[in-house]
A and B are shown apart, each in its own frame.
Chain A
Amino acid sequence: MTEAKKTHSKSQTEPVQSATFTKAVNAEIRRAADTGIYDIRGGGAKRRVPHFDDLLFLGASISRYPLEGYREKCATNVTLGTRFAKNPIELDIPITIAGMSFGALSGAAKEGLGRGATAAGTSTTTGDGGMTEEERGHSNKLVYQYLPSRYGMNPDDLRRADAIEVVVGQGAKPGGGGMLLGQKISDRVADMRDLPAGIDQRSACRHPDWTGPDDLEIKILELREITGWEKPIYIKVGGARPYFDTALAVKAGADVVVLDGMQGGTAATQDVFIEHVGIPTLACIRPAVQALQELGMHRKVQLIVSGGIRNGADVAKALALGADAVSIGTAALIAMGDNDPKWEAEYQKLGTTAGAYDDWHEGRDPAGITTQDPELAARLDPLLAGKRLANYLKVMTLEAQTIARACGKSHVHNLEPEDLCALTIEAAAMARVPLAGTDWIPGKGI
């Protein structure tokens, strides 16, 4: 028997892990079976999707000459809101800070964002929780989000904003509302939102007093009338149907369209929503630009793209595809100290690791950014956080300039699709640029 068993074991097949039922999939099945509730997290889509890394710039050659790196100017300024607003926003750099709420973030984190953005010559944005003194006081240019929940919405803050962003959706969850767990609803957060402290708070997914583009046009009229037609009105949409959403936003009277791909998102929602609803940022840009061009509105209605912007190359690629500016959220938090390995021991205690921590909604952030816990929040020095963010924004800008000069552009807005090629067929099709080394743009029939 013993001999036979040995022989049998020698001929056993190697255990094979399923590509469908991976360890992570199985763990999630067990977690769901244990708890009876879906996984909620922040952080945008984590799955691999075609992205800016799948594009390359061609640079200069015999037919294109470059600009001198440190001598010839490559401008980076951008003006947002030139269509209707009396007071468009002038920014030094084409990188803005995306909307993140006080509530989701601590007051000090909002201050840090304001300080960093202001030092770098750009704007920051409120979120689903009203405007705080920390961010208004420290943000030279502040965009006030007009959200379905209308938490903290009031005409005084509307008038002291520099622009108004009507949020229709966001990339992580096009069609979804917000969720802030009770442990983050401190007395101050509750007071700003007119809700009892400590309850799990669900934000609406639809605006309460308009539906559809015709209503939106009237809503925008009202906001303009309240604010004397002074402020640029942005419309933010999640990456879903970018061609139609952009066209409808223009029709409704937007000055600026903000388009957020599926990799974007600091707000909490179901993992299944984040990973399975919405389209990649890369796939959003060309259809949106096409809509603007067909309406004769490209560069007249500005396009801000967000969702997974990490460095100057991403910025340059988004601009080359036709965006006027980009917006960052997750990257700004990382710059300020989120997911820093120096907190690894504490991430381990939370059952995660630095770089993977995404339970921002639970308020236990070791970095003290996505929390309302006074002890944790005290870990973030808003001055230092602001300095770090400003440094990061400047590096991104320098990187984008470096690429633009290499392509012979005296302004980053002069970058164009012709400067790009793609490494993969998927990216070539989405970005509508040729596969590297070919003149083939999939879907273009050439």
Chain B
Amino acid sequence: MTTLDITSQDMTTIDLTEQGLRYLNETLQQQSAGTNQQDWTIINPRGSHAIAVGLDAPIRVTVNGSTGYYCGGMNKQATITVNGSVGPGVAENMTSGMVVVEGDASQYAGATGHGGTLVIRGNAASRCGISMKGIDIIVAGNIGHMSAFMAQKGNLVVLGDAGEALGDSLYEARLYVRGSVKSLGADCIEKDMKEEHIKQLAELLERADMDADPASFRRYGSARQLYHFDVDNVSAY
């Protein structure tokens, strides 16, 4: 038992530069729900793409450094923390679990995510939450233009400001913004903050470990005017 523990302890750190991307992902993907090896640290990511993608176990992975494209892509169950900034498409198409970015996120953060939670403690660039399908995204800073474009389901919470055309062609995702919104996209409107929304927002902020008053946010959603094609709406298409 002692030997096994020592071996396990040695294997918790993966040096990406030394051991390579394939080894990293294969090792993490092989972990199952009952693994003893629940905590993993990745060092020397150096902006590499596709780090910790396709994970499917309730393990905790910490990336010490910044990453390239698609870090945490298609994540299930795992909790991935990046002590740095991330490139485009962080946590894209995530289905469950949690991805936390301590720095900033590039374009398409949380794109098409079906579930799970994405927390960005810095800012997120354009198209944050594009086509999201159930994921919850909480951004401490600002988000760029065209965020939540065609967002279908889930919640996007922004403690800072939102860029142009927020929520363009929105479906049923809920958008909560504390700061300013430069402009709303087609079919996106401000909606009342009701008790259920305050309650939901409080839960999302708590999950992201962020301290903000839910009552200080505004809520945006779909006007549902583009759900059926109508020639009189042609200027909106």
Contacts and interface: CB of A to CB of B under 8 A. Distances in A.
Interface in A171-218: 182, 193-196, 199-200, 202, 204, 208-210, 215, 218
A230 B73 CA distance: 18
Given A196-B227, A209-B111, A204 B76 contact: no
Given A196-B227, A208-B150, A209-B108, 17 more contacts: A150-B112, A153-B93, A194-B133, A194-B134, A195-B171, A196-B171, A199-B228, A200-B228, A200-B229, A202-B169, A204-B150, A208-B111, A209-B89, A209-B130, A221-B49, A222-B70, A226-B54
B227 A200 contact: yes
B7 to A, nearest CB: 24
A36 interface: yes
Interface string A156-178: 00100000000000000000000
Nearest to B230: A37
Interface in B8-22: 21-22
Given A209-B88, A225-B50, A196 B70 contact: no
B131 A150 contact: yes
A155 B228 contact: no
B217 to A, nearest CB: 24
Contact of B69 (A149, A155, A222, A227): A222
B165 to A, nearest CB: 15
Residue of A149, A215, A226 ringed by the most chain B CB atoms within 10 A:
A226
Nearest to B172: A196
12 contacts: A36-B231, A153-B114, A194-B114, A208-B111, A208-B112, A209-B89, A210-B88, A218-B50, A219-B69, A222-B73, A225-B53, A226-B54
A341 interface: no
B131 to A, nearest CB: 5
A187 to B, nearest CB: 15
B167 interface: no
Nearest to A194: B133
Q: Is the interface of B mostly helix, strand, loop or mixed?
A: loop
Residue of A149, A153, A209, A210 ringed by the most chain B CB atoms within 10 A:
A209
Contact of B114 (A154, A196, A226): A154
Contacts of B111: 208-209
Interface of A: 35-37, 149-150, 153-155, 158, 182, 193-196, 199-200, 202, 204, 208-210, 215, 218-219, 221-222, 225-229
Given A37-B231, A208-B127, A222-B49, A155 B95 contact: yes
A193 B150 CA distance: 13
B121 interface: no
A155 B112 contact: no
A200 B237 CA distance: 13
Given A37-B229, A226-B54, A153 B112 contact: yes
Residue of A149, A195, A222, A229 ringed by the most chain B CB atoms within 10 A:
A222
B152 A182 contact: no
A378 B141 CA distance: 53
Interface of B: 21-22, 25-26, 29, 49-50, 53-54, 56, 68-70, 73-74, 76, 88-89, 92-93, 95, 107-108, 111-112, 114, 127, 130-131, 133-134, 149-150, 152-153, 169, 171-172, 227-229, 231
B25 A225 contact: yes
A158 B74 contact: yes
Given A222-B50, A225-B50, A229-B22, A150 B93 contact: yes
A209 B50 CA distance: 13
A60 B90 CA distance: 59
B117 to A, nearest CB: 17
A148 to B, nearest CB: 8
Contacts of B169: 202
Contacts of B69: 210, 215, 218-219, 222
A223 to B, nearest CB: 9
A218 B48 CA distance: 10
Contact of B133 (A36, A150, A209): A150
Contacts of B112: 150, 153, 208-209
Contacts of B68: 218
Contacts of B150: 204, 208
A232 to B, nearest CB: 17
A150 B50 CA distance: 18
B152 A219 contact: no
Contact of A194 (B152, B228, B229): B152
A320 B38 CA distance: 55
Nearest to A227: B54
Nearest to B113: A150
A199 to B, nearest CB: 4
A180 to B, nearest CB: 11
